[in-house]
Chains A and B, each alone.
Chain A
Amino acid sequence: MGKRILMFGWEFPPLVSGGLGTACHGITRALAELGHRLIFVMPHGEGLAAFPGLTIVSASAVLAASATARSIGPAAGEGRDPCPTRLFLHPYLTVRPPKDDAPIFREWPADSLLAHAGGYGVDLFAEVGRYARAGEILAARTSFDVIHGHDWMAVPACLAARRVSGRPFVLHVHSLEYDRSGEGLNDEIRAWERRGLEGADRVIAVSNYTKEMIVRHYGIAREKIAVAHNAVSAAEGRRVYRVPAADGEKRVLFLGRITYQKGPEYFVEAAARVLEEMPETVFIMAGSGDMMAEMVEKVAALKIGRRFHFTGFLQGRQVEEAFAAADLYVMPSVSEPFGLTPLEAMMYDVPVIVSRQSGVAEILKHAVKVDFWDVAALAEKMISILKYPPMAGELAARGREELRGLSWQTTARKIVAVYDSL
């Protein structure tokens, strides 16, 4: 029998700043296809396209309606958002202390390539609090079987919903503060993660890697944690066709937030080594983040700026074009609970190198893997893939095969098994 799921997620396409929105889309769609019905609560979110079985509710609409004492049910949730000021806040607040030689701007001008998407500097925690209040209101007047929350931003809302409804709460962990920040962890975020992990009835981790982190850092019992790997769906890619580079030059892509977690400096250092051997190679770092200025400076100091380029934050079709133009995708993350981007790259027949410190490495049997800190090995592997087309072709072919074995329906079935265990 189909379950009624009250789901709290911070992002949903097209409003995404990272992999979370993409994963939420894949998961909800597959759950709906399996016959379950979902109410998906976003902080804001005007006019998002849902599909049968899914209703998207904007928390700000719930609060506004509640303030004017007007009744609002999930059925009306698709209504216009009364305060669509900010579509989403960046949930992955990073709080690394500024360095002595901090860049000249505290806030980058909006038209700068270094401007962050989503934006920091707004009160994320206050927003999380409002989101929780909306969750509480909604839970009191809606009937459902299970509460499903994604990452720490959803924890206050889920705990509130659980309190008023008595329904079980499943926390789905896509990333942890430990992954995101290295040193300089945000205590408040960590505290919410702990409350969520301890207060949830079950926990779903996107990888064994993340499951072990939860066990190690939060002391949660292994039995409480299930693993449901992410997937990709054919609809998520392939609207742009591969663009072979002019003159046979090779293009290597990094795509993601330029933050500590993503290991951008290892990519830059490896690029410098590759360029010594293959000076015509082009390196592209796509994305923005709090380490971007530092990476630009590093590229300049290594004197490789003529072949190493920055695009700033990309979205939609630009992302697809970036994948389609790449000859090699590298994800050198320092700590990556899952890492969807390599799968997206593989859909464009792009060979990928991923760090062993990633969840996606668990499900890619044939991908090239390196330890993020091993710049020499990374450079060496990059060179062999770039230099030997048969190797690149073989990797792309195996990648295609591996992708065929991945589906969001598999993920959804594992999630449903968790629901059934409650």
Chain B
Amino acid sequence: MAARRRHAAPPGASGGDEHMSAVCLYFQVHQPRRLRRYPVFAIGKEHDYEDEAGNRKILDKVAEKCYLPANDILLDLIDRHGGEFRLSFSITGVLLDQLERFRPEVIVGFQALAGTGCVEFLNETYHHSLAFLYSGKEFRGQVDRHRRRIAELFGLEGETFRATELIYSDALAAAAADMGYRTILAEGATAVLGTRDPNRVYEAAGGGGIRVLPRNYRLSDDISFRFSRRDWEGHPLTAARYARWLHELQGPETVVSLFMDYETWGEHQWAESGIFSFLKALPGEILARSDFSFVTPREAALRQPAGELSVPEFRSWADTERDLTAWRGNALQRDALEALYGLEEAVAATGDRDLTEQWRRLQTSDHFYYMCAKGRADGDVHRYFNPYPSPYDAYINYMNILDDFSRRVGKEKRA
């Protein structure tokens, strides 16, 4: 790989009296390890739980359709704009493990992006889990492991934290601050912000000065959900038009945070929809106005906070409720989660690395998302991502596996 020129810090990031308007891009990169169909009668006999062939197929598909082409385009854009185009990623440990084994060229692509100096890599729970809700110890362990892995792969010490599915609360912000993070991401919907401006940075209530970056959900979803929807008045969306919407938000200390799944580019929105042409043109259109720049979350946090933000209840970026109901809104999900986290001590007592890793893989939030039985529009989104024919099947299958797993833990503990 040819050595790349590291680009200088962006204009406006050095902390003058007033900051120009900025756009903060962050892409979430994650693929779960989906479970295989595990029948009752496998309990006690078969201890492999994952749909390896299925996961591999999806990984290949997403790598070809999204990760590889999008990485190339982003690298190109950074070069073309001489360091003025900046962005951030959070890549889960669950995905990194899969990529390392099957598609290492995707990791090489991310490393090339890291090498430009224009990309920030965030930290989260290694296993894309809900551990914070059940075990502070487990949560810290997973974040710590992710931080180390990111540092090792990309040479960057994480300064910004984002929790699984943009879950956020005062307590979470405080925990992140306690672990040394200076910035944390959050959903910016009304459920979180009330009437406050989503295009500003806030200081977390009781969070030891940690800054909160709320997501501009409308503008984010215009790309990630609505880009190819023909019945949407914004369709067809051009980069110029979208940049105009952003420019209308110009103001001192403004940061428009566009947070979305990385898979938006080429997977959720197919290449045929023109999503890549849009991506290629977007930075140029935004930077066409000299009072606009790109910042990463770390850089955004240098701005003057618009005030203190207090969010006592858990919020997230999922569903219309923007809360935890996508993962623990029904009895199936709660039983599965409580049974899983109820094994924490027993798993620890085994001191067995494989069992511990297995337990953590079972924590990936997607397993519980598949058990969500919401109707209407949210239900459609859930079904799009669900490898099971119904949430009940997801629960039944998961609990079969958990029975087998708990027996292995029990046996190991006695041994």
Residues on A lying within 8 angstroms of B by beta carbon are 103-105, 108-115, 245-247, 249, 280, 282, 284, 292-293, 296-297, 299-301, 303-311, 321-322, 325
CB-contact partner of A111 in B389, B400, B410, under 8 A: B389
List 10 A-B pairs, minimum CB-CB distance, nearest first.
A109-B389, A112-B389, A300-B331, A300-B335, A305-B399, A246-B44, A301-B331, A306-B339, A300-B332, A309-B40
With A113-B393, A249-B407 known, 5 other A-B pairs at CB within 8 A are: A247-B407, A247-B411, A292-B392, A305-B339, A325-B41
Q: Which residues of the other chain, B, contact A104 by a CB distance below 8 angstroms?
A: 373-375, 379, 390-391
B167 at interface by CB-CB < 8 Å: no
User: Is B299 engaged at the interface, CB distance under 8 Å to the other chain?
Assistant: no
B392 and A296 contacting across the interface, CB-CB below 8 Å: yes
For B334, list chain A residues within 8 Å (CB).
300, 303
6 A-B pairs in the complex with CB atoms less than 8 angstroms apart: A104-B390, A104-B391, A109-B390, A296-B332, A296-B396, A297-B330
Q: How far is the CA of A52 from the CA of B373 in the complex (A)?
A: 53
**Count of residues in B whose CB is under 8 Å from the partner chain:** 34
Task: State which residues 198-244 of B face A: CB under 8 Å.
Answer: none
Q: Is B392's CB under 8 angstroms from A245's CB? A: no
CB-CB contacts below 8 Å: B285-334 with A? 330-332, 334
Q: Is the CB of A114 within 8 A of B393?
A: yes
Contact of A307 among B41, B45, B389, B403 (CB under 8 A): B403
Is residue B43 contacting chain A, with contact meaning CB distance below 8 A? yes
B406 CB within 8 Å of chain A: yes
Task: Given the known inter-chain contacts A105-B390, A108-B389, A305-B339, please indicate yes or no for A113 contacting B396, CB distance below 8 A.
Answer: yes
Q: How far is the CA of A413 from the CA of B403 in the complex (A)?
A: 49
Answer yes or no: B54 CB below 8 A from chain A CBs: no
Complexed CA–CA distance, A247 and B406 (Å): 13
Question: Is the Cβ of A305 less than 8 Å from the Cβ of B332?
Answer: yes
**Alpha-carbon separation in the docked complex, A188 to B166 (Å):** 55
CA distance A325 to B402 in the complex (A): 19
B392 touches A293 (CB 8 A): yes
Report the minimum CB–CB distance from B153 to chain A (whole Å). Answer: 36
Given A104-B379, A109-B390: A303 and B396 within 8 A (CB)? no
Contact assessment for B403 and A306 in the assembled complex, using a CB-CB cutoff below 8 Å:
yes
B403 close to A282 (CB less than 8 A): yes
Instruction: Chain B residues near A105: list those with CB within 8 A.
Output: 390
A179 CB to nearest chain B CB (Å): 26
A297–B396 CB distance below 8 A: no
Which residues of the partner chain A approach B126 to less than 8 Å between Cβ atoms?
none
Contact of B336 among A115, A247, A297, A305 (CB under 8 A): A305
Closest partner residue, chain B, to A311 (CB atom): B40
